[in-house]
A = this chain, B = another copy of it.
Amino acid sequence: MTGPGETSGVLGVDSGGSGLRAVLVVKGGQDGRSTAPLESREPVRTGPRGIDAGHLVEQLVPMARQLMADAGITTLAAVTVGAAGYTSLGDSLRADLPSALARELGVRRLALAADGVTAYVGALRQRPGAVVAAGTGLIAIGTELTSWRRADGWGHLLGDNGGGAWIGRAGLDAALRAHDGRSGGSARLLARGEEIFGPADTWPGQLYPRTDRPALLASFAPEVAACADGDPVATDILAEAARHIADAAHAVCPTSGEVTGEVQVALTGGLFKMGDPLLVPLRAALTERLPYARQVAAAGDPLAGAVHIAADLAEDRLTLPREEDMLHVIAETLAPEALTPETPAP
């Protein structure tokens, strides 16, 4: 799509609970060179129409213009926006983002993706398998390269079993069992909880009035991992988390009969920084549930996945399954007048 004398770039965007991140890759005569990501610390709002496209554009356009100016390019061959909540709340992005980004940034091709899809592509590129993306929440995404499959990702009250909020909540529950003298309690988790949050009697008053309850619960997950060395209750919580995670991966993973070549499974996201206390039982659970799938390290993060999708879209080689609520591509439908790039602000 890019002539030899023209310098254009592709933009990857990751919109999540902690803000917006964007990175530009310049395509020239040689291999692409990538800029350092820019970050906006303000999460894109969700309104009655779903994810607020106007709020996203408002934050993204200045970031993109700065990245373009710094890299000395005037054209964006393709943009991919991966967004948390896209599957159920992406209507306004599909309706408003293509024209806004064509007008403001001269975007020629646009892909909108669920954050699970960018996480998948970041981890496994365009290979078949399953990816579990987990931080505070947890979702599993799989594909045999014909369709996308999802499991869990229902949030902290309906699921996200095995994710950070789930592990933290289970740890606090075990702490309070010890406090009350109920069975299944852990005195060590109670002691850690009281060191961090103060007397147990004050925990409900601290937790329930907050709007970031899942994040607060998840903040206790590393303490569960720290106690797993020697505390059987903490060890059991992580073993159960591992079973839940492997179960979600199993639900979305193609069978070896469905794909050509190898099936791979990868883990991505902040939860897995917890290390061995979670990873050792998780590797065992994955081997048990998905014996035919090779466990591989994630190649990159969701932002890398967004860039990868944009680069393939620019080069007409995107073969991933397209589904409106998972990976939606707008290319030919962009009106010709929208293709005239506005001069970026200096």
Contact = CB atoms under 8 A, between A and B. Distances in A.
A309 to B, nearest CB: 23
Given A88-B205, A182-B247, A173 B161 contact: yes
Contacts of A156: 157
A144 interface: no
A28 interface: no
Nearest to A172: B158
A248 B183 CA distance: 9
Contact of A251 (B181, B202, B207): B181
Contact of A169 (B89, B158, B180, B251): B158
Contacts of A169: 157-158
Nearest to A243: B183
A152 interface: yes
A201 B155 CA distance: 12
Contacts of A181: 151, 251
Interface string A161-190: 100000001001100100011111000000
B158 A202 contact: no
A331 B203 CA distance: 32
A152 B172 contact: no
A252 B159 CA distance: 31
Interface in A221-253: 247-248, 250-252
Nearest to A156: B157
A151 B180 contact: yes
Contacts of A151: 180-182
A150 B180 CA distance: 7
Contact of A157 (B183, B202, B213): B213
Interface residues on A, range: 35 or more
A157 B217 contact: yes
Contacts of A207: 155, 157-158
A254 to B, nearest CB: 12
A22 B288 CA distance: 59
A154 B248 contact: no
From A204, A205, A208, A251, name the one whose CB has the most chain B CB atoms within 10 angstroms.
Answer: A204
Interface string A195-207: 0000001111101
A1 to B, nearest CB: 35
Interface in A263-318: none
A203 B173 contact: no
B203 A180 contact: no
Interface string A81-96: 0000001110000000
Contacts of A176: 152, 154, 158-159
A158 B248 contact: no
Interface string A65-94: 000000000000000000000011100000
From A88, A158, A208, A251, name the one whose CB has the most chain B CB atoms within 10 angstroms.
Answer: A158
A17 to B, nearest CB: 13
* Top-9 shortest CB links A-B: A151-B180, A181-B251, A182-B251, A155-B204, A182-B247, A180-B251, A183-B247, A154-B176, A159-B176
A81 to B, nearest CB: 20
